[in-house]
Amino acid sequence: MIRNAIVIFVIALLIFLIFIPSFTRMQDQKARLENYEKQIEMLKKRNAQLKEEKRLLEEDPVYLEAVAREKLGIAREGEVLYKLKTVESD
């Protein structure tokens, strides 16, 4: 009876030792999958934002002008642009 218990224990231990690396690998794969799914969601949102910005740049002249003024520093004829530098104090 004790011998049967020892045999069962050894078999269970061997099974445990054989399957533990597979289990940890599976957990790692699951964590990576979740990370990839989050990245995909973030990229889908960014893609939607960029599509909307593209649409606005192609179809909305007011938005196009605002972007050109802000990002490119473009001014209308006769306008003067002033660039101010901020002074940091110690």
Q: What is the pLDDT of residue 19?
A: 82
Tell me the per-residue pLDDT of 66-88, one tens digit each, with 9 for 90 and over.
888 888 878 878 888 777 888 88
The pTM of the full predicted model, rounded to 2 decimals, is 0.58
CA nearest neighbour of 15 among 23, 5, 4:
23
**pLDDT > 70? residue 90:** no
Residue ranges of domains in the chain: 2-72
Alpha carbon distance 69, 84 (integer Å): 15
Q: What is the pLDDT of residue 57?
A: 94
**pLDDT > 80? residue 33:** yes
Q: Per-residue pLDDT averaged across 5-33, rounded?
A: 88
